[in-house]
Structure 1
Amino acid sequence: MSLSTRERSHHPDVTAPDGSEVRILAATSRGSMAQFSLPPGAVSKAVAHRSVEEVWLVTHGTGRMWRRLGAAEVMVELRAGISVAIPVGAHFQFRNDGEEPLHCVGVTMPPWPGMDEAYEVDGVW
């Protein structure tokens, strides 16, 4: 077991398959954490995950997230304090509708396995 500590970088560590900027945070054997960011006016690609589920917390900015799982489909307004669940296989897409960066902290369970985890799907934007 590792007592992981990691400081958030000032610059993105990678670009996610959906196009958002990713700053990698602490991880354990059962989950990983990252900050996802979109600049003002940006829209992510619509994606789904093959094997991981995520929970996100909006920490800064405003926008919207679309999610679809089977027959269920929702659109949620994003603002600081809103959290959302993204189950395995859910289609999702998010956008920044504000004038400041949109930042979300996400926890991935199990830990993010690699860039081929996400695959593109049809989105709303």
Structure 2
Amino acid sequence: MTIVYPETRKLSDKPDARAPDGSDVRVLLNLPRGGMAHFELAAGLISLAVTHKTVEEIWYILSGRGQIWRKQGGQESVTDVFPGLCITIPLGTHFQFRSLGDEPLAILGVTMPPWPLEGDALPVEGIWEPTVG
């Protein structure tokens, strides 16, 4: 049995990475079955559309306003996102999001299992023309 010791981490002032969808990522913490990160898409930007091969996510909107498009199987929808809203991105869902308004769209995301680093996100056709890359 592997021992996992408790960790503590403060949100970084600068992004740690850029997500495959083009948003800025500030990594928080991981455990063997899930991870948490802060995602931010600057005001007025549109992400790349992607789908995940092995992870699914839960997002909680911290600040900003925008929209997310999600498509799975024969169902698709565009949902307005705003502070206090929580959404899911189940495995295999195609998704794309955009930041509307004057402030960045900030999201707290939980990824299950933890992000595998490379190759999990695959580009797909979205509904908006991306402005990040």
- TM-score category (smaller protein): over 0.9
The correspondence for 1:33, drawn from 7, 31, 36, is 36
The correspondence for 2:101, drawn from 98, 101, 104, is 98
Task: Using the TM superposition, give the Cα deviation of residue 114 of structure 1 relative to its aligned residue in structure 2, in angstroms.
Answer: 1.2
Task: Using the TM superposition, give the Cα deviation of residue 2 of structure 1 relative to its aligned residue in structure 2, in angstroms.
Answer: 2.3
Contact 1:21 1:38 in 2 (8 A): yes
Task: Using the TM superposition, give the Cα deviation of residue 4 of structure 1 relative to its aligned residue in structure 2, in angstroms.
Answer: 1.9
Letter in 2 for 1:73: E
Separation in 2 of the partners of 1:94 and 1:40? 12
Task: Using the TM superposition, give the Cα deviation of residue 6 of structure 1 relative to its aligned residue in structure 2, in angstroms.
Answer: 1.2
The correspondence for 2:14, drawn from 11, 27, 49, is 11
User: Which residue pairs with 1:77 in the alignment?
Assistant: 80
Give the aligned CA root-mean-square deviation in angstroms: 0.7
Letter in 1 for 2:23: S
TM alignment of 1:41-80, pairs within 5 A: 41-80=44-83
Q: Secondary structure at the match of 2:119?
A: helix
Separation in 2 of the partners of 1:115 and 1:61? 28
User: Which residue pairs with 2:131 in the alignment?
Assistant: none
Q: Percentage identity across aligned positions?
A: 47
Query: Which digits, 9 at most, give the CA deviation of each residue in 1:27-70, with x for residues without a partner?
Result: 11110000110111100000000010100000000000000000
Separation in 2 of the partners of 1:90 and 1:28? 23
Query: Whose radius of gyration is greater, 1 or 2?
Result: 2
User: Which residue pairs with 1:108 in the alignment?
Assistant: 111
Moved over 3 A (4+): none
Task: Using the TM superposition, give the Cα deviation of residue 115 of structure 1 relative to its aligned residue in structure 2, in angstroms.
Answer: 2.7
Separation in 1 of the partners of 2:76 and 2:8? 37
- Structure 2 gap ranges (5+): 129-133
- Structure 1 gap ranges (5+): none
Contact 1:64 1:77 in 2 (8 A): yes
